[in-house]
Amino acid sequence: MFFERIPFLDTEILNLGACSFASPLRFTHGGRFVSDGARILKSLDPSEILCATGQGKVPVSFEAAGPRERIFFDPARMRAAIVTCGGLCPGLNDIIRSLVIELYHRYGVGDILGIRYGLQGFIREAGHAPLVLTPAVVERILDMGGTILGSSRGPQNFDHICDELERSGIQILFMVGGDGTLTAAHLLSETVRKRGMDLAVVGIPKTIDNDIAITERSFGFDTAVEEATRAVRSAHTEAVGYPMGVGLIRLMGRHSGFIAATAALAQQEANFVLIPEVPFDLDGEGGLLWSLERRLAERGHAVIVVAEGAGQNFFGEKDGVKDASGNMILKDIGLFLKDAIESCFRAKGKAIAMKYIDPGYMIRSLPANAGDSVFCSFLARHAVHAAMAGKTDMLVGYINGSFVHLPLALCAGKRRHVDPGGSLWQAVLETTGQGSLRVF
């Protein structure tokens, strides 16, 4: 039945306790506070809402983000810390700066630490002394790529982290990262609760791939698409500049093809888009090589955009090798396709001009564009509001145009994917005209 596809989600946000302090924002915020009872619907589909209410259920909704009138922590007697983990991403410094400015100027928190080199910074043997963060320290970091705190990959002992949190007197920890970081934040929150510590752990979603579950957007994606679009434009220019020119661009997207699909729509010069969610065949009538040959015969040039996680089935058995963050190390689909295309046309005695572009690390190290910078400022401010109100084991998400509080348990270890039947992928198919690229 229809209502069976409306899942139950535990959207309750954990609180450290009663909020005993009046928010200092009452002097500057004009009384525009948000109550814990304010909710944002997960789905705006009227049929789902009617179905849920018709079954006597409450439609799934999330706690709205925003400043609370009363807060849990005394700003004058507390210490906050910020840690950035995982791969580099445009916007990390924007998040750091906005967190510091909101804590310091809006709430009056004068004791803020930056944990250096990810979770390694909590391990004393690693020797990474924390950075004292003030508005003066973060004043000019918006135009810098990367993160002034540094980063690292890989797990650390949660008991050791908690020991250091207690020794340092940290009461709020902002963890900025992707799936691995958010999973670690959730597990750390559980360890903190078992110890009975009054410490708020608040996550801020960071991933270029835009694939964190539930939330519709993570910072870094907008900048990544903008730069990826330049790569598509360059590949097209190179392809049309030579007879039988082929531009091949490998973009980020381990499990989800949002960057590849969105960049292709932004530039509309890609003829083939390959993403992890949609299988394709290489050989045979209807496959990629056959379709590429037809395209070159008709138009004399072609542009192919491939997400890094696409076509992993062509490499046979997985060897199970993982990186320090626990991610499976992918085979290089870009170089594989380059060799396969060149070999195919060479065997047929046809000369092509192959131009291969991989802008991955160039994109990761960029400063945020204007859109991402604004988004980062919203994420950071809402994270501070939530943490000061004693909310924990949560992240700030973005649903239906609104910022919300999401339990980390809903997002950790899960991913969002491009829906092959959804409007984004259908728009890609219409724009490229590539067909299914399957042999039947």
Asked if residue 26 belongs to a known ligand binding site, the reply is: no
Active-site residue, from 111, 209, 211, 393? 209
Asked if residue 181 belongs to a known ligand binding site, the reply is: yes
Asked if residue 36 belongs to a known ligand binding site, the reply is: no
How many angstroms separate the most distant Cα atoms in the chain?
79
Q: Which residue has the tokens 């960029």?
A: 366
Asked if residue 304 belongs to a known ligand binding site, the reply is: no
Which residue(s) pair with 250 in the sheet?
A: 306
Asked if residue 87 belongs to a known ligand binding site, the reply is: yes
Asked if residue 209 belongs to a known ligand binding site, the reply is: yes
Asked if residue 364 belongs to a known ligand binding site, the reply is: yes
Asked if residue 216 belongs to a known ligand binding site, the reply is: no
Asked if residue 208 belongs to a known ligand binding site, the reply is: yes
3-state secondary structure of 386: helix
How many Cβ atoms sit within 10 Å of the Cβ of residue 233? 17
- Secondary structure, 3-state, the chain: CHHHHCCCCCCCCEECCCCCEECHHHHCCCCCCCCCCCEEECCCCHHHHHHHHHCCCCCCEEEECCCCCEECCCHHHCCEEEEECCCCCCCHHHHHHHHHHHHHHHCCCCCEEEECCHHHHHCHHHCCCCEECCHHHHCCCCCCCCCCCCCCCCCCCHHHHHHHHHHHCCCEEEEEECHHHHHHHHHHHHHHHHCCCCCEEEEEEECCCCCECCCCCCECHHHHHHHHHHHHHHHHHHHHCCCCEEEEEEECCCCCCHHHHHHHHHHCCCCEEECCCCCCCCCCCCCHHHHHHHHHHHHCEEEEEEECCCCHHHHCCCCCCECCCCCECCCCHHHHHHHHHHHHHHHCCCCCEEEEECCHHHHHCCCCCHHHHHHHHHHHHHHHHHHHCCEECEEEEEECCEEEEEEHHHHCCCECCCCCCCHHHHHHHHHHCCCCCCCC
Asked if residue 223 belongs to a known ligand binding site, the reply is: no
Asked if residue 214 belongs to a known ligand binding site, the reply is: no
Asked if residue 308 belongs to a known ligand binding site, the reply is: yes
Residue 209 annotated to the active site = yes
Asked if residue 285 belongs to a known ligand binding site, the reply is: no
Asked if residue 254 belongs to a known ligand binding site, the reply is: yes
Binding residue ranges for ATP: 87, 153-154, 178-181
Binding residue ranges for substrate: 207-209, 252-254, 308, 361-364
Q: Which of the residues are catalytic?
A: 209
Binding residue ranges for Mg(2+): 179
